[in-house]
Amino acid sequence: MTENSISGTTSVCAVIGDPIEHTMSPAMHNAAFRETGVDFVYTAFRVSAKELGEAIRGMRALGIKGLNVTIPHKVAVMAFLDELDPLAEKIGAVNTIVNDGGVLTGFNTDASGAMRALAERGIETDGRKIVVLGAGGASRAVSLALADGGGRLTILNRREELDWAEELAARLARFFGSNIPALELTDDNLAGALDGADLLVNTTSVGMVPRAESTPVKASLLHGGLAVLDIVYNPLKTKLLGDAETAGAATVAGIEMLAWQGAIAFEKWTGKPAPNRLMRDEAVRLLEKP
Ligand code: ATR
């Protein structure tokens, strides 16, 4: 239980997904609500794919102020909303819904969270050469945001049949008019792509516990001219980030992006600046809990 004082005027927010038991969002958001003194509370609902439409109608009926949306609903939920933020529309996925007097608008704060985490460190994307590893859902959000921010992207993906990467590249080409190379994730292709690159973003799960000793990029390919963002946040410092530091590269940890995606949702629901550091510290506390 949180110490939020809940009354007849309290606004409700929640995360929906399936499964949902391991979400860190309630702890992060309730800590932020307490800290800022807003009259909000945050919980979690397990919603199956077949009940997604009912759940969103329920959001409207109950006046739930905000939802975060996680796996497996980020794409399907768009069909039930009234408005889409332009970046969420380009990405084709939503992770945050704002209920403004019954009008439901979808946003993608995974994408804007990544951009804020980079901006906070003074890492620019406009005109920069950016290498993205992975072509799944996370890549789709981050790649579209980076291209929206003027980045010149190369995407590398493990699978030899590059249908997914090509679909993503086609989506990028449709919105940004540029031809974005989609290559197989091999050492040779990585070496070529990283030569002269400004930013490397890992959107794959490589390096996540319990395989924290693994890394998607050989240390010898990293260099001091790079900034490296790893979306893996468990462990807090992945092998990729450790190797990047050793190579003299600037690093942005996945936990920063996670905290910012929550902080931006908080700002949209409450209209107040989010206590981003506190939300990050709360997520770290949960990850470090035995
Ligand atoms: P998410 O929503 O987190 O992006 P996803 O859509 O399943 O999850 O995508 C996972 C990404 O990580 C994919 O690009 C996947 O590559 P494949 O398309 O080849 O499966 C990548 N990935 C997962 N495990 C990997 C590994 N061991 N090596 C390289 N890439 C890996």
pLDDT in tens, 155-188: 999 886 656 666 787 788 888 776 788 889 999 9
- The whole-number pLDDT of residue 194 equals 98
Residue nearest to atom 18 of ligand 1 (CA): 159
- Among 195, 273, 258, 268, which residue's Cα sits nearest to residue 36? 273
Q: Sheet containing 83-84: give its strands across.
A: 40-46, 11-17, 66-69, 96-100, 103-107, 83-84
- The whole-number pLDDT of residue 271 equals 98
Q: What is the mean pLDDT of residues 130-154?
A: 93
Q: What residues does 131 pair with on adjacent strands?
A: 154, 200
- The whole-number pLDDT of residue 2 equals 45
Phi then psi dihedrals of residue 250, to 5 deg: -75, 145
Confidence label for 49 from pLDDT (cuts 50, 70 and 90): very high
Q: What is the mean pLDDT of residues 73-87?
A: 97
- Cα separations (Å) of 47 from 74, 78, 283? 12, 15, 23
DSSP 50: G
How many angstroms separate the alpha carbon of residue 155 from the centre of ligand 1?
12
How many angstroms separate the alpha carbon of residue 137 from the centre of ligand 1?
9
d(CA 126, CA 179): 16
Angle ∠(134,140,143) on CA atoms, nearest 5: 80
Contact by Cβ (8 Å): 154, 169: no
Q: What is the mean pLDDT of residues 114-121?
A: 97
Angle ∠(91,89,194) on CA atoms, nearest 5: 25
pLDDT tens figures, 214-265: 999 999 999 999 999 999 999 999 999 999 999 999 999 999 999 999 999 9
Judged against a pLDDT cut of 60, whether residue 266 lies above it is answered with: yes
Which residue in this structure is represented by tokens 């050989």?
Answer: 218
Strand 250-252 versus strand 227-230 pairing type: parallel
Best probe residue, ligand 1, of 204, 206, 238 (max atoms within 8 Å of C-beta): 204
Contact by Cβ (8 Å): 241, 231: no
Judged against a pLDDT cut of 50, whether residue 21 lies above it is answered with: yes
Contact by Cβ (8 Å): 230, 253: yes
Which residues lie with the beta carbon below 6 Å from any ligand 1 atom?
A: 134-139, 157-159, 164, 185, 203-206, 216
d(CA 11, CA 248): 46
**What tokens does 80 get?**
């039930």
The more confidently predicted of residues 84 and 176 is: 84
Please, what is the average pLDDT of the chain?
94
Residue 74: active-site member: yes
Residue nearest to atom 14 of ligand 1 (CA): 134
**What tokens does 46 get?**
């397990």
**What tokens does 88 get?**
């969420």
Q: What is the pTM of this model?
A: 0.94
How many angstroms separate the alpha carbon of residue 135 from the centre of ligand 1?
7
DSSP 44-68: EEE--GGGHHHHHHHHHHHT--EEE
Q: What is the mean pLDDT of residues 97-101?
A: 98
Q: What percent of the chain has pLDDT over 70?
A: 96
How many angstroms separate the alpha carbon of residue 285 from the centre of ligand 1?
27
- Among 271, 276, 282, which residue's Cα sits nearest to residue 119? 276
Judged against a pLDDT cut of 80, whether residue 128 lies above it is answered with: yes
- The whole-number pLDDT of residue 145 equals 96
- The whole-number pLDDT of residue 215 equals 98
Residue nearest to atom 6 of ligand 1 (CA): 136
Q: What percent of the chain has pLDDT over 90?
A: 87
- The whole-number pLDDT of residue 1 equals 40
- Cα separations (Å) of 162 from 16, 93, 143, 145? 31, 21, 16, 21
Best probe residue, ligand 1, of 110, 158, 189 (max atoms within 8 Å of C-beta): 158
Secondary element (H or E) of residue 230? strand 227-230
| Active-site residue, selected from the candidate residues 65, 74, 129, 239 | 74
CB atoms within 10 A of CB 101: 5
Quick check: helix, strand or coil at residue 17?
A: strand
